Amino acid sequence: MRGNIVAAAAIFGGALVLASIIFIAGIYFAFDHAAGRLSSSIEAHARLTSEAGERAGAPIAAALQQVNGTIARHADAVVAAGQAVGHPVVRMQDAVPIVDQQPLRIQGTVGVEVGENKESKKGAK
């Protein structure tokens, strides 16, 4: 009986060592190939991202040029409005009674085109 136990222990030990070697080799090959696949996937992703950026660059640049033109036109309109507001032309044709604690009411323009100011009259003369 003693010989059977020693033989069984030796077979079990050998099987355990062989199973460990197979397990470690499987882990090694799995991670080795996974690392290679991961590396190639990262390179492919970087290449595709670069190509997508190059393809998207032209439409984005064109849109930015269009936005710049729109902003410039809007800025010119704001400057013109600021000039008109900053240089008002006010004419009082009749005496205006001022009552204490009452604001002065402007009811409209009489005989003046909207947007007309001193500079446009000087240029017309």
Q: What is the pLDDT of residues 27-83, one digit of tens each?
A: 888 887 777 788 888 999 999 988 888 888 888 888 877 877 778 778 888 888 887
Give the predicted TM-score (pTM) of the model: 0.32
pLDDT attached to residue 65: 79
Angle made by CA atoms 12, 15, 16, in degrees to the nearest 5: 85
- Average confidence (pLDDT) over 72-100: 75
Tell me what pLDDT residue 125 has. 46
**Cβ within 8 Å of residue 112, ≥6 positions away:** 89, 91
What is the structure's pLDDT at 45? 92
Higher pLDDT, residue 65 or 118: 65
The pLDDT of residue 18: 94
The pLDDT value recorded for residue 107 is: 67
The 10 Å Cβ neighbour count of residue 89 is 14
Q: What is the pLDDT of residues 108-117, one digit of tens each?
A: 666 656 555 5
pLDDT at 5: 87
Residue 125 or 5, more confident: 5
